[in-house]
Amino acid sequence: MMRIISILLCILCTSDSLFAGGQKIWGVPEEQFLHSVTGQYHPIFTARDAEKYPLRDLDGMSPGAGYFLSFFTYADEKLPYRLLEYEAERGQYLFALLSARRLMELLIRDDLDKEAEMIGTRLSRLFPGDYLLAKKLVESRYWQELDISPDLHQLQKRFDSKALEDPEYGLFAAVNAVRHHHPEWKAFVERLVMEYPASSVHHRFKSYISLHGLPDIVDSHVLTSLNIRLYVQERKFDAAFPLITGLPPRLMTLSMLDDLYMCASSGLYVSGGIEYLDSVIAAGTVVPSVKFRARMYRGLLFRKKGLLVQALEDFTVCTAEAKDPDIRQRMAWYVLESLVRTHHRTALSEFAPFRDFVHDPEYFSDVLSDWGHSLFMEGEYAALEELLLGVQDFAAPPVLSYLSYIVFRLDQTGIYRTRVDAELLRFHITSGEGDGYYRALFGYMNGIQADTVSPAPASGGREGISEGHAAAVSGFFDFGFSSLAYESLLPFKDELATDSVLAFSRLLHEAGRPWEGIRAALWRIDQAPDNLLYPLGYTDIVEKTALEHGLPSWLLYALIRTESFFNPAAVSHAGAVGLTQLMPATAKDVSGRLKLPGIDLTDPSGNIALGGWYLDHLIQRSEAPIYALMGYNAGFSRVRQWRDSWKDIPADLQVELIPYEETRNYVKKITRSALAYGRTYTTADAGDVFDYMFNTRRTEMNK
């Protein structure tokens, strides 16, 4: 691990330019070389013996040159190995580690197991803290059918739980024990089958024993358990569930209980799952950890069935028995949620004994927000006020700003006179750690300036980011592998320097992958400038469409960002497609009205044209754009039904009354984005945005 950290720290320190001036790579000027290799017409691609191309020429290029060049296909099939080995041993940045891992993968894939063992032994010394590389070294010996018992022991000794919890480690141990007829081979097989979660390793083990058999007969429950794993991995719950519940409770393991819960919670076997878990909990031969998990899963199944009193009893016991602070907090969450649903008015006082188990206030934000929303929907304003006062010591700032804003506005509009001190409400709403949406609304309603996002940055170029930080991550883009960049660096997001993350985000934007650029910026959301979090995209099309329909461009940008992160190929779980996430039926209707048949919804021009028209159409049918946004997400007919029950409630509080959590959050997300786009790229301030959204003036909303 120290080796990895030292490599990554180089990113903080490097100040070299992207390429050294005048550098030649294999006799070709560097710019021309990059052009030729990305076009795959450099002579090296057809050279049968690439030994004449000295790898030291790569030293002047951006980090990872050998790693990226290894992805191309060469006539000299050994060249990728040489490139990766050279890059791994150069020891620059994280690409050394990535190269070492990829080299081992290629060698094992190509059945060069002895070479992999020899090279892996050397590379493991360079990266002694990397588990994946150490496991690849063991795997190279595994495929040679050597006895790897000592290697597995060392792997476990060095990496402890990381090895023991790895299903592939369990596979290697079981096959090795069977292959070499170890005295304890049955124990290894049983551990693989009974203790590891269902995964592809069980299919691999099944294939092995189908070809090679087992040294002797094993207990029937082992083969039954193997079949359970195969069925669960294939999601054949109807076949797996009767096999699981046919096993004696004393044979239950933690991962077998996981499979039972997965089958039961699918909806088919909830009652049967509860009944079997009863027997596990009652069995005297079951170990405490299994009994604890059985009780937890029984509580979850009670909850799924709506038996909340019984669920609360199980969660209460689990909270008291849990040793791990994270699990104890998770159980406390279920206790609170069950109390809210069963003991609405006394939930806070009954939850008091569990408050000491809260170590991450954010963990409880959803249940507290849902509780506040439920009280507001039911008109229980005194209870809402009591909730705010009762959770100040453990609720996260965004929840406190949400509850405080509603109480403040109820008082301001005369709907309910609060006893909460006005300064306390103001403190929670305007807190820098609170929700910027409510901070901006508070400022708007009271005619004061309230910042909602970070200071507007300079846009375009690489200003403010050193070339060294750009160089650390630019290889993906220099060599034409921008599509691999995000997934490749995702595992290292917490270890990369902030400047390198921001450089990476900017390069993704420049490469035409804004959906990944935004996600990369979110890795450092507190430091990322607005033009990385809220980029412009398809500017000509958006501006043209906005002008045609009289829409603010900041609203159309906000819609696209919220819907798709500017990914033209985005498809939602419901089937909505493209930048503005139109359902095919809606798109067909709109394209028919516009006489634009056959539009490809993944085409940015056509999608934005249809989405812009549809948004404008909804706005024309609404009293205010805020209702059009509700309709865009939930359907316009639903909004009409909701509004019939919202009379005499100001528009900003009507947003909080939306019954659907998804739609409620959707409207607020678009508003947050609109505020950012308006301030960053136009002269529209928060007042302009809210005036437009609510189609009214602040003074009217305060009546």
Helix runs in 17-130, H state only:
30-38, 65-69, 79-90, 95-109, 113-126
Burial letters for 562-584: b for 16+ Cβ neighbours within 10 Å, e otherwise? bbbbbbbebeeeeebbbbbbbee
Angle at 425 between CA 421 and CA 428, to 5 degrees: 140
User: What's this model's pTM, rounded to 2 decimal places?
Assistant: 0.87
Distance CA 428, CA 635 (A): 34
pLDDT tens for each residue of 629-673: 999 999 999 999 999 899 889 999 999 999 999 999 999 999 999
DSSP code for 25? E
Distance CA 564, CA 577 (A): 9
Cα atoms found within 13 Å of the Cα of residue 150, Cβ hemisphere only? 3
Nearest of 520, 538, 537 to residue 529 by alpha carbon: 520
Under the banding of pLDDT at 50, 70 and 90, the label for residue 497 is: confident
> How many CB atoms within 10 Å of residue 77?
11
414 class by beta-carbon count within 10 Å (0-12 exposed, 13-18 middle, 19+ buried): exposed
Residue 7: the pLDDT is 39
Q: From the DSSP assignment, how many helices (H) and strands (E) are in the chain?
A: 41, 2
Pick the range with the lowest mean pLDDT from 93-102, 218-227, 236-245, 581-590.
93-102
- Phi then psi dihedrals of residue 25, to 5 deg: -110, 110
Distance CA 434, CA 449 (A): 16
pLDDT tens for each residue of 126-159: 999 999 999 999 999 999 999 999 999 999 999 9
> How many CB atoms within 10 Å of residue 74?
19
Q: DSSP string covering 488-550, please?
A: HHGGGTTTS-HHHHHHHHHHHHHTT-HHHHHHHHHTTTTT--HHHHS---SHHHHHHHHHHHT
pLDDT tens for each residue of 402-432: 999 999 999 999 999 999 999 999 999 998 8
Helix runs in 378-481, H state only:
381-390, 397-412, 422-430, 436-445, 467-473, 475-478
Q: Cβ contacts of residue 139 below 8 Å, gap of 6+?
A: 108, 172
Residue 256 pLDDT exceeds 80: yes
Nearest of 256, 254, 268 to residue 221 by alpha carbon: 256
Catalytic residue IDs: 563
Residue 456 pLDDT exceeds 80: no
Distance CA 439, CA 432 (A): 9
Residues 311/338, Cβ–Cβ less than 8 Å: yes
Taking the alpha carbons at both ends of the chain, their separation in whole angstroms is 61
Residue 461 pLDDT exceeds 70: no
Angle at 29 between CA 24 and CA 33, to 5 degrees: 100
Residues 549/616, Cβ–Cβ less than 8 Å: yes
Under the banding of pLDDT at 50, 70 and 90, the label for residue 458 is: very low
Angle at 595 between CA 590 and CA 596, to 5 degrees: 75
pLDDT tens for each residue of 2-27: 444 343 434 333 333 333 445 788 88
Under the banding of pLDDT at 50, 70 and 90, the label for residue 470 is: low
Angle at 433 between CA 441 and CA 522, to 5 degrees: 95
Residue 94: the pLDDT is 83
> How many CB atoms within 10 Å of residue 41?
10
Residue 464 pLDDT exceeds 60: no
pLDDT above 70: percentage of residues in the chain: 92
Residue 584 pLDDT exceeds 80: yes
Residue 587 pLDDT exceeds 70: yes
DSSP code for 264? I
Q: What is the mean pLDDT of residues 479-491?
A: 92
